[in-house]
Amino acid sequence: MKVVYFVVAILAVTSSVVSAYDPSPLQDFCVAVKEIDGVFVNGKFCKDPKLVKAEDFFEHVDPANTNNPLGSQVTPVFVDQLPGLNTLGIALARIDFAPKGLNPPHTHPRATEILIVLEGTLYVGFVSSNQDGNRLFTKVLNKGDVFVFPIGLIHFQLNVGYGNAVAIAGLSSQNPGTIIIANALLKATPPISGEVLTKAFQIDQNTLDYLLKQSWYDNN
């Protein structure tokens, strides 16, 4: 009997974990449309299947302009850019880097990310949770190398080569979300209390005032 209870407990836990991710589709496709017309699935309305075209599953991604303070630019291909992704549980992004360009520390609250380098050399890494001691895992990647960033963990990519770099990120959600750590803390609307930030970072108000005046560019 104890074995039965144990199995039931495991099934309950795993089913709750699975429900936290994008649900599996029960139809061939559910192309997202903005109009309020059709079935509402995963936060989007479904286009009438009889009106679906090949273009609904197609998107062209050009190289991005990296002339910005970070020297990088992320071009997302999420459900908002590619309606055919709706209910399929995947997305991707192209990341362009100028020399020394940085995709700053950020998280994807709803997705694991797998990155492949198409050109250049990247120094990449992620930090584990408090539970695991905030350990830093890093690797230098060259063309053809692949690296995985677990769901929800803070991670980054830095171009350490002498030329431009390009990478493609695959994500395990049609809408993974992105939280850039510095921007979220220092550009929140309305602002986070200075008392909170000075105590959190163990800095004085003058240092905080200096940080708050910076541009904190959003490359997504």
Residues 149, 48 share a domain: yes
Which of 60, 64, 65 minimizes the C-alpha distance to 82? 60
Our count of domains for the chain comes to 2
- Give residue 19's pLDDT: 42
Q: What is the mean pLDDT of residues 61-88?
A: 94
Range of the domain at 20: 1-177
Q: Residue 131's domain is classified under what CATH number?
A: 2.60.120.10
- pLDDT tens string 138-196: 999 999 999 999 999 999 999 999 999 999 999 999 889 999 999 999 999 999 999 99
pLDDT score of 9 more than 70: no
Residues 89, 132 share a domain: yes
Residues 212, 172 share a domain: no
Is the model more confident about 11 or about 113? Answer: 113
Residues 192, 116 share a domain: no
Q: Let me know if 170 is exposed, middle or buried by CB neighbors in 10 A (0-12, 13-18, 19+).
A: middle
Residues 198, 173 share a domain: no
Residues 189, 111 share a domain: no
Q: Which of 162, 177, 192 is the last residue of a domain?
A: 177
Q: Residue 53 corresponds to which tokens in the numbers above?
A: 């075209």
Q: What torsion, rounded to 10 degrees, do the Cα atoms 98, 115, 103, 166 define?
A: 10
Residues 101, 54 share a domain: yes
The CA distance from 71 to 159, in Å, is 9
Residue 155 annotated as lining a ligand binding site: yes
Which of 176, 177, 118 minimizes the C-alpha distance to 142? 118
- pLDDT tens string 14-51: 344 444 466 676 677 888 887 655 555 556 888 889 99
pLDDT score of 89 more than 60: yes
- Give residue 43's pLDDT: 65
Q: For residue 98, what pLDDT band results from cuts at 50, 70 and 90?
A: very high
Residues 112, 219 share a domain: no
Residue 86 annotated as lining a ligand binding site: no
pLDDT score of 197 more than 90: yes
- Cα angle 162, 64, 219 (rounded to 5 degrees) comes to 90
Residue 106 annotated as lining a ligand binding site: yes
Residues 212, 199 share a domain: yes
Residues 204, 148 share a domain: no
Residues 187, 158 share a domain: no
DSSP 191: P
Average pLDDT, the chain: 88
Residues 215, 162 share a domain: no
Residue 108 annotated as lining a ligand binding site: yes
- pLDDT tens string 102-151: 999 999 999 999 999 999 999 999 999 999 999 999 999 999 999 999 99
140 and 159 Cβ atoms separated by less than 8 Å: no
